[in-house]
Amino acid sequence: ARSIDLAVIPGDGIGPEVVSQGLKVLTAVLPQDVKLESKEYDFGAGRWHATGETLPDEELEQLRQHDAILLGAVGDPSVPSGVLERGLLLKLRFAFDHFVNLRPSKLFPNTATPLAGRPDIDFVVVREGTEGPYTGNGGSLRTGTPAEVATEVSVNTAYGVERVVRDAYERAQARPRKKLTLVHKNNVLVHAGSLWTRVFERVGQEYPDVTTDYLHVDAATIFLVNDPARFDVIVTDNLFGDIITDLAAAVTGGIGLAASGNVNPTGAFPSMFEPVHGSAPDIAGSGKADPTATILSVALLLRHLGLDAEATRVEEAVTADLSARDGAAPRSTDAIGDAIAARVAG
């Protein structure tokens, strides 16, 4: 019998609300012979206020023992910006070497998008997850004075760029359209941009079936809005990938539907699955949070663990749920979770 040993980090704001729906669907979709064990970790604003801890090393070690991690969201207005985002979320991505941040975008049926009626939108952003301006390399001089200087250095290594570019080529090769777009800003960020461009071209020689192109990130935002069907696989750096995937979510059905996986493809560490969105303090506690992004992240988790049929059942249930809904009537977080859980079970 197969089994899943899952770590669950509900986190802050709407995180616990959407994670409970994700677990509801996970439980409903798993066949009898797959045993689910899960352990919840209480990281986030509450823990930080109570103990000053974000992610102690002993618990990082415990997390490492799980097959995968499901995370809701972290960040809270009562905690200084960056403390939880860096100390918890980025610490996990870096410690578990989640160099492939996978963010698929599909145009979902029956959603409020400027692109309704364009069913051909189906692309995936392969966002680098361990480098770029996220490494914390930089500093502040003369802080708080008129002469303050703040730097945030983008770190790009040949090793780090090559492994994510190669992963993106593999994914493009496996898709029907076999197209890969590099998104960067090599007209201005000439050092990092040159490294990315050279690696992209060199590795591309090993994938002659894959069609490639390049877009500056600013132009990419134009096409994401007015011609997103042109994209198949996009590979880009950590910060550009963060920004364009919120945009991609907004144009393909809404941030409440956007799923992601922080993947370590080598299997050396557990991969972590989470919605693209954050803790949404503006709607926390109101029952308005859409759990679909978390439920679709559960589908990515299932596929990562080799449970392809179950992953597909979840994705199909989401599509059916969206098709069936009355677009005008808002549903609660719980109602959406119940509806999708009923579909995967039935």
Binding residue positions? 93, 103, 127, 218, 242, 246, 278-290
SS3 39: strand
276 makes contact with ligand IPM (CB under 6 A): yes
Of 255, 265, 261, which is closest to residue 273 (Cα–Cα)?
A: 261
Task: List CB contacts of 222: < 8 A, sequence separation 6 or more.
Answer: none
Nearer CB in complex with ligand IPM: 17/85: 85
End-to-end CA distance of the chain: 22
Whole-number minimum distance, CB 178 to ligand NAD, in Å?
Answer: 30
Selected catalytic residue, list 5, 122, 246, 338: 246
Any catalytic annotation for residue 5?
Answer: no
Any catalytic annotation for residue 67?
Answer: no
257 makes contact with ligand IPM (CB under 6 A): no
Residue type, 319: T
Q: Binding site for substrate: which residues?
A: 93, 103, 127, 218
Any catalytic annotation for residue 57?
Answer: no
90 makes contact with ligand IPM (CB under 6 A): yes
Q: Which residues are near ligand NAD by CB under 6 A?
A: 14, 18, 73-75, 85, 89, 255-256, 274, 277-283, 289-290, 293
What, of Mn ion, ligand NAD, ligand IPM, none, does residue 17 touch, CB below 5 to 8 Å by kind?
Answer: none
Nearer CB in complex with ligand NAD: 264/292: 292
Give DSSP secondary structure letters for 131-195. -BGGG--EEEESTTSTT-EEEEPPB--HHHHHHHHHHHHHHHHTSSS-EEEEEE-TTTSHHHHHH
Whole-number minimum distance, CB 47 to ligand IPM, in Å?
Answer: 17
d(CA 106, CA 143): 44
Structure token digits, residue 340: 């999708």
Nearer CB in complex with ligand IPM: 79/317: 79
242 makes contact with Mn ion (CB under 5 A): yes
- Residue 184's beta-bridge partner residues? 216
Any catalytic annotation for residue 42?
Answer: no
What, of ligand NAD, Mn ion, ligand IPM, none, does residue 90 touch, CB below 5 to 8 Å by kind?
Answer: ligand IPM
DSSP 8-state symbol, 87: I
Any catalytic annotation for residue 246?
Answer: yes
d(CA 177, CA 231): 9
85 makes contact with Mn ion (CB under 5 A): no
Nearer CB in complex with ligand NAD: 186/260: 260
Structure token digits, residue 325: 């809904």
85 makes contact with ligand IPM (CB under 6 A): yes
Maximum pairwise Cα distance, the chain: 65
Sort 266 into a burial class: Cβ within 10 Å, 0-12 / 13-18 / 19+. Answer: exposed
Selected catalytic residue, list 134, 169, 237, 321: 134
Whole-number minimum distance, CB 89 to ligand NAD, in Å?
Answer: 5
Return the sign of the alpha-carbon dihedral for residues 112, 115, 119, 120.
negative
Structure token digits, residue 298: 């559960």
Q: Which residues bind ligand IPM (CB under 6 A)?
A: 75, 85, 89-90, 242, 276, 278
Q: Which residues bind Mn ion (CB under 5 A)?
A: 242
**Active site residues per annotation:** 134, 185, 218, 242, 246
